[in-house]
A and B are shown apart, each in its own frame.
Chain A
Amino acid sequence: MGESNQTSRLTWEGCSVLLDINDGERLVFARLSPAATLKIGKKNFSLQPIVGCPFGSSFRVDNGKDGPYLSRVVPSEEEGGNNVQEEENVTGEELRDNRALVDNNTAQSLTGEDIDEMRRQGATGEQIVEALIANSTTFENKTSFSQEKYRLRKQKKYAPKVLVRRPFVRSICDAYFRKYPARIGCLRSDSLALLLSMANVTAHSDVLVVDMVGGIVTGAVAERLGGTGYVCNMHLGVTPHSLEIVRIFNFNNDTCKRIVRCCLNDLCPGQNGSHVQNENMASDSGNQLDVTEEDVSLEENKTSVDTSNKTGKRDPTTCKAIKAGEVASEELIDSWKEKGFSSLIIAAPEQDVWGILQKLLPHLSYSASFAIYHQYLQVLPSRTHPHMQMSAFGGYILSGTKICTSESGAQ
């Protein structure tokens, strides 16, 4: 099945990355196309320096001939004793406190102009931070915790760090959970992990998925299948659910081909989804499509088009990361009718999951596992439990194994 893009340890032109700015302060999904930029503060930085670097590399802003640019930080420079020394400071006895601190805005003697002047002379971000510390009259009297906080605050502003992360399901899910939890139905990565285990997703499985959480479940399953088996994205209404998030994974063609979609009516023509359900589905996926990510996927769409036009297909798999989610072939559907799916996952937070489950269970093989994610638990009259709140709570998962009825089971 060829080398998977996903296992590559180096970034390449056109690949999708997760940029972690200032240790999680900002998370940005980006595609490394020639035109792609990242805005930090007021400036736009080209993402070209990131191309070809190992995932996990970090970058800082350096001043070059043509102005500031992203420059890779080679680990040996900053690794080593640094962390240990900090630890010692932290664990030492603390004698300082803030009793003498007066907030009169005179603590810093460097002015904005001074800093601009330093920049013009080519000072690095770190040097500016050091200068700010040296010119702060209160820094010395701060507690070590407070000093650390001060340093960090200045570092974020004057010496931003950019870490390049692999867009794997965990990092993608975590980033969405922080940025746009509603788009993934507040599905936390540990809950997603449970869904995958409980549904027994493994290579060569044919997994039936109802993914109304932006494609995160579809992507997660495809990642576990590694270009084998199939993930069939089922929609009950006419409109397929958004698979927006699938594009963020660096899936190659082999994997993309394994992500297909199909309508319930295709699988069982006699069974019409109720009207209510159709409408719900349609409006819901409509919503999902409307809310595109502000700087992220818009930019991504634009730039990925650019890539295919300008650079003339350097690697076909990278330019067209969007092929996932074709309509399942009749042949495939027939094979599922005959053999059934080997797993089922439902993540449809706004839907009547029971109705969906009833329709889909007949298409599951005997002894196959299913797992269902939902945010709510029922509330009964005079037995009402609080609706759990998001942050402290990963949603509910229900799982089980389909068993075989005696009538249909007997040969």
Chain B
Amino acid sequence: MIPSDPSERLSLLRRIQEGDLVIVYERHDHMKAVKVIGGSVLQNRFGVFKHSDWIGKPFGSKVFSNKKGFVYLLAPTPELWTLVLSHRTQILYIADISFVVMYLEIVPGCVVLESGTGSGSLTTSLARAVAPMGHVYTFDFHEQRAASAREDFEKTGVNKLITVGVRDIQGEGFPDEHLGQADAVFLDLPQPWLVIPSAGRMLKPDGILCSFSPCIEQVQRSCETLGLKFTDIRTFEILLRTYEVKEVRAELGKGDEGFSFRSPPHKKRQHSTEKGDAVEASGAATVMAKPCSEGRGHTDMGNTMCIHEEFPFAESINAPMLGMTAEGVGRLIRKGQEQVIAERRNIIEKDIFNALWAQLWVYCCKSTDK
């Protein structure tokens, strides 16, 4: 997932090999990590897929089952991993993760301490940021969870960048071997204030601490403790608003409304029949995005968060294939005010950007220069 030298980076020449981890993409909210093993098969509602058919194809390829169903095989990234990993705990999602990594000023070579490890969602992104020569030391007091995290890191190939320790950080603090070594410390614990003094000792001068808490009371209590040794204490609530992308078609004889929304297809089969109809029905169609009205709190997030989303679509579009509806990409980001009517010669599989309002408190601060 994270190249350890230039030859390992994604390339037009890269092909899927035996032993590679691929993200099997069915739909934006249906993905699965699969290790490619020659004799194995993947069975899902679209049929049976032989791994041996995948070997030698580029990442990003569309592959077919015995029943002509298809999926895409994507190269794993920390973002995709976050969407497919097995949840052993609540996890952090992309908006929080991105912000934490930037605010902690993590760059290649940094040493980062984290507790708890949880499901390793953030840990994987931390590893991406410290690579190739930095290191993430992550701790969880739950032995089994730590072991599962280790297995996951091996599976995704980030294990060289991460050391998972079993330790009750809240009770014992961080181990002394990291004294004054850490560029950044990240805490996701129920009582972070208990660890703050220890975290302060681990940090290099001007190092940064970030603690993640769902409740404002936890934040307040931590801030009181932070005030003794830290400066620049700031609290952030991270909101990510996602948009629902829909196709809108001007339909004749509908009065003032003029538009109707077509609901996203739920089944591929249904979709392909729709395709034919739609081409017949009306040429003028466009794609619009509107903010999802329904906001969901972080803690309710069961499945996905998909502003980072692929929109696979039908084959024969002139534009190069990209992971989204071609028109969707262009029109969505286009500067406003112009009327945009995209010709929809190819009906595209529509998906929805799910809504996420991550209502969590992240607070960051710097250790004082000692």
Question: Hey, which bits of chain A sit against chain B, CB under 8 A?
Answer: 4, 6-7, 9, 54-57, 75, 79-80, 83-84, 87, 166, 168-170, 189-190, 192-194, 196-198, 200, 202-206, 223-229, 338-340, 342, 350, 352-354, 357-358, 361-362, 365-370, 372, 374, 376-383, 385, 387, 396-406, 409, 411
Contacts and interface: CB of A to CB of B under 8 A. Distances in A.
Given A205-B9, A378-B331, A402-B322, A228 B132 contact: yes
A197 B78 contact: yes
B310 A197 contact: no
B368 interface: yes
A411 B107 contact: no
A378 B75 CA distance: 31
B337 interface: yes
A402 B5 contact: no
Given A224-B107, A354-B331, A369 B77 contact: yes
B3 A203 contact: yes
B61 interface: yes
Interface of B: 2-6, 8-14, 56-62, 72-75, 77-79, 94-95, 97-99, 101-103, 105, 107-110, 125, 128-129, 131-133, 183, 204-206, 224, 227-229, 231, 238, 240, 243, 248, 258-259, 286, 288-291, 307-312, 315, 319-324, 329-340, 366, 368-370
A399 B309 contact: yes
For the complex, would chain A's binding face be called helix, strand, loop or mixed by DSSP majority?
mixed
A103 B240 CA distance: 47
A383 B102 CA distance: 36
A177 to B, nearest CB: 13
Given A198-B98, A203-B132, A377-B243, 8 more contacts: A7-B183, A170-B105, A197-B101, A229-B6, A340-B11, A377-B333, A398-B333, A403-B322
Given A83-B227, A378-B334, A404-B60, A194 B98 contact: yes
Contacts of B5: 204
A194 B5 CA distance: 24
What 5 A-B pairs are tightest by C-beta distance, nearest first?
A: A226-B108, A354-B330, A56-B206, A367-B60, A367-B59
B209 to A, nearest CB: 13
A206 B322 CA distance: 18
30 contacts: A4-B107, A9-B204, A56-B369, A75-B368, A75-B369, A168-B105, A170-B102, A193-B99, A193-B101, A198-B79, A198-B307, A200-B78, A200-B79, A202-B129, A202-B131, A224-B107, A338-B12, A338-B13, A350-B335, A352-B335, A367-B73, A368-B75, A378-B289, A381-B339, A385-B290, A387-B336, A400-B322, A404-B62, A409-B60, A409-B62
B159 to A, nearest CB: 16
Contact of B334 (A203, A206, A352, A411): A352
B320 A405 contact: yes
A198 B94 contact: yes
A236 B26 CA distance: 36
A79 B200 CA distance: 14
Contacts of B308: 197-198, 369, 399-400
A229 B107 CA distance: 14
A184 to B, nearest CB: 15
Nearest to B330: A354
Contact of A400 (B14, B94, B107, B309): B309
Contacts of B8: 204
A403 B290 contact: no
A386 to B, nearest CB: 10
Contacts of A380: 248, 286, 288, 339-340
A368 B307 contact: no
A353 B77 CA distance: 25
Nearest to A225: B108
B61 A409 contact: yes
Contact of B333 (A369, A396, A402): A396
A221 to B, nearest CB: 11
Nearest to B229: A79
Contact of A403 (B72, B107, B229, B329): B72
Interface centre among B2, B243, B332 (most CB of A within 10 A): B332
A7 B107 contact: yes
Nearest to B70: A406
B336 A197 contact: no
Nearest to A355: B330
B179 to A, nearest CB: 15
A7 to B, nearest CB: 6
B334 A354 contact: yes
B101 A377 contact: no
A374 B108 contact: no
A354 B58 CA distance: 25
